[in-house]
C-alpha cells in the first residue's frame, strides 16, 4: 500500500499550494459525499521513483464549537487518522499563533509521525525563519516555500523515510487477478459484488457511504479464480447511519494502486460528475487496466439512455482504451460480458511482448508513417523491447528521440495496441536515446 501524507494547518498557510505542487496538477479528487460541509482533496504524488498519496485538508479550527468550522475540524481529524505521516504547515512570515499551539498539541496526541513545515520562507534566512517554531515541541522545523518549491523535495523525502520503498512485486501470474470495484457512494458497487459472487457477502444498503473499508474476497466464476476488492468495505448494519465523512477515499485509491483491473461503476440514473472523471483519471494515471460499468441501466427509457451515452462520451472521452458495459447489478443483467472484458483487460495488462515482434511492429509503423522532422533532423527508431507490465511498457531505442512529438507517440501507441490486441489497459511508450559511438573520438 502506498504511504499517505496529510497536510494540516490553519487556513491560508499554503496547504493547497503545497498540494498542487506535490501532485503537479490542480485537478484533485474531491470527496463530494452528501452531508459534507468541507471537502478533502486527494491526489497522487511521486518523488524520485516513489509514489505516495497526499490529502489536502481544510483550515483546521480546533477551538471552534459551531457551524462550518466544526465540520472542517472533523474532516481534518479524519484525514489525520487515515494518514501514515502528517505535514503540519505554519506561516513563517506571521510567526507562531495561539491556534498553531492548539493544533500542535492535538497532533502530538495522535501518535502519528509529524513534520513541521515553516512555509512562505522564500527570501528569508531559513534558520531564522524556523527558529521560533521549536517552541511547538514537534522537533526540528523545516523552512520551505510551497509557491517556489524550495525545500519541498527534502521535506517529502523526510516524510517517507520511515516507509521503505515497496519491494519489486513478484511475478504474480499464478495468482488470481485482483479486481477493484470503485465508484462514488450509492452507485451500486456492493450490489455488483454480491451479483458476481451470487450471494450477499457485502452489505448493500440504499444510503451513500454504507461501505467503510476495503475488503478482499476470493471467488470462482466460470472455472476461473478472482480476488474482488469492494471499496471501501463493510460497515456493520447498526452503524450505517453514522457520519458519512467516515467513507475512506484513501482506501479506494490504495485499492486502485494494488489492483490488476479496476471496474469503475457509474450510476446511469445520475449525472456523470466531476468526481467520476477524477476517479477515472486517477486509474489512468496509475496505469491500471479498466472496465467501466454503467449500472442501473434497466430503469431508463430509450431517450434517457441516448443522453447518458452522450454524457459519457463527452466527460470520459480520455478512456479510449476501456470497454464500457451497460448493466443492472440488482437484476444480474450484463455480468457475463463485463467479466469477459475484465479477463481481456487482465490478459492485456499482463502481456509478454517479445523483442523481435515488437521490433517488427515498430518497423512496420515507421514504414507506414515516419517520425516528423525535428529541426533539421528526422528521429530514427531502431528497435523496441518490453520494459514492464501492468501496464505494458514498450521501450523504443533510437537517435534524436527527444524530438519526437506527443502526436507521434500516440500514433505508435495505437499501432502497437492494434498489433497486439491490447484492449482495456493503458500502454506506456518510452523512448531511449541511443549512444553516439563517435562521441568520444576526435
Annotated binding site for GTP: 9-16, 56-60, 119-122, 183-190, 230-234, 295-298
Alpha carbons 333 and 331: distance in angstroms, whole number: 5
Closest CA to 40 of 104, 83, 3, 1: 83
Sign of CA dihedral 359, 320, 265, 247: positive
Vertex 311, ends 305 and 317: CA angle to 5°?
125
| Residue 55 cell numbers, joined | 490529502
CB-based contacts of 36, cutoff 8 Å, min separation 6: 71, 75, 244, 245
| Binding site residue list | 9-16, 56-60, 119-122, 183-190, 230-234, 295-298
DSSP state of 47: E
| Greatest pairwise CA separation for the chain in angstroms | 80
- Whose cell is 526540528? That residue is 140
CB-based contacts of 203, cutoff 8 Å, min separation 6: 190, 210, 211, 234, 235, 237, 240
| Residue 387 cell numbers, joined | 520494459
β-bridge partners, 396: 384, 431
Sign of CA dihedral 165, 168, 173, 174: negative
Amino acid at each position: 500500500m502506498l504511504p499517505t501524507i496529510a497536510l494540516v494547518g490553519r487556513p491560508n498557510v499554503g496547504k493547497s499550494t503545497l498540494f498542487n505542487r506535490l501532485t503537479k496538477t490542480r485537478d484533485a479528487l474531491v470527496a463530494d459525499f452528501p452531508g459534507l460541509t468541507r471537502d478533502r482533496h486527494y491526489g497522487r504524488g511521486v518523488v524520485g521513483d516513489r509514489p505516495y498519496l497526499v490529502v489536502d485538508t481544510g483550515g483546521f479550527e480546533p477551538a471552534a464549537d459551531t457551524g462550518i468550522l466544526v465540520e472542517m475540524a472533523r474532516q481534518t481529524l479524519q484525514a489525520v487518522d487515515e494518514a501514515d505521516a502528517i505535514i503540519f504547515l505554519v506561516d513563517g512570515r506571521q510567526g507562531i499563533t495561539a491556534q498553531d499551539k492548539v493544533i500542535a498539541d492535538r497532533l502530538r496526541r495522535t501518535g502519528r509521525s509529524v513534520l513541521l513545515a515553516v512555509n512562505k520562507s522564500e527570501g528569508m534566512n531559513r534558520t531564522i525563519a524556523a527558529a521560533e517554531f521549536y517552541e511547538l515541541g514537534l522537533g526540528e522545523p523545516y523552512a520551505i516555500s510551497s509557491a517556489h518549491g524550495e525545500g519541498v523535495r527534502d521535506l517529502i523525502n523526510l516524510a517517507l523515510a520511515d516507509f521503505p520503498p515497496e519491494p519489486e512485486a513478484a511475478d504474480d501470474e499464478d495468482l488470481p487477478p485482483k479486481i477493484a470495484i470503485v465508484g462514488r457512494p450509492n452507485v451500486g458497487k456492493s450490489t455488483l459484488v454480491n451479483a458476481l459472487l451470487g450471494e450477499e457477502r457485502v452489505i448493500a444498503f440504499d444510503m451513500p457511504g454504507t461501505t467503510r473499508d476495503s475488503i478482499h474476497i476470493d471467488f470462482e466464476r466460470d472455472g476461473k479464480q478472482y480476488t474482488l476488492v469492494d471499496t471501501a468495505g463493510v460497515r456493520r448494519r447498526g452503524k450505517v447511519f453514522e457520519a458519512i465523512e467516515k467513507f475512506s477515499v484513501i482506501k479506494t485509491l490504495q485499492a486502485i494502486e494494488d489492483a490488476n483491473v479496476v471496474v469503475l461503476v457509474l450510476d446511469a440514473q445520475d449525472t456523470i460528475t466531476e468526481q467520476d472523471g477524477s476517479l477515472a483519471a486517477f486509474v489512468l494515471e496509475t496505469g491500471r487496466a479498466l472496465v467501466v460499468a454503467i449500472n442501473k441501466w434497466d430503469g431508463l427509457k430509450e431517450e434517457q439512455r441516448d443522453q447518458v451515452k452522450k454524457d459519457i462520451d463527452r466527460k470520459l472521452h480520455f478512456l479510449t482504451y476501456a470497454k464500457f458495459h451497460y448493466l443492472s447489478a440488482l437484476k444480474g443483467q450484463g455480468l457475463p460480458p463485463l467479466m469477459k472484458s475484465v479477463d481481456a483487460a487482465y490478459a492485456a495488462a499482463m502481456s509478454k511482448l517479445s523483442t523481435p515482434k515488437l521490433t517488427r511492429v515498430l518497423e512496420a509503423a515507421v514504414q507506414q508513417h515516419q517520425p516528423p522532422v525535428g529541426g533539421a533532423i528526422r528521429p530514427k527508431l531502431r528497435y523496441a523491447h518490453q520494459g514492464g507490465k501492468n501496464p505494458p511498457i514498450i521501450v523504443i531505442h533510437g537517435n534524436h528521440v527527444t524530438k519526437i512529438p506527443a502526436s507521434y507517440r500516440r500514433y505508435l501507441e495505437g499501432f502497437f495496441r492494434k498489433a497486439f490486441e491490447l484492449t482495456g489497459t493503458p500502454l506506456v511508450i518510452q523512448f531511449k536515446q541511443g549512444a553516439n559511438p563517435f562521441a568520444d573520438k576526435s
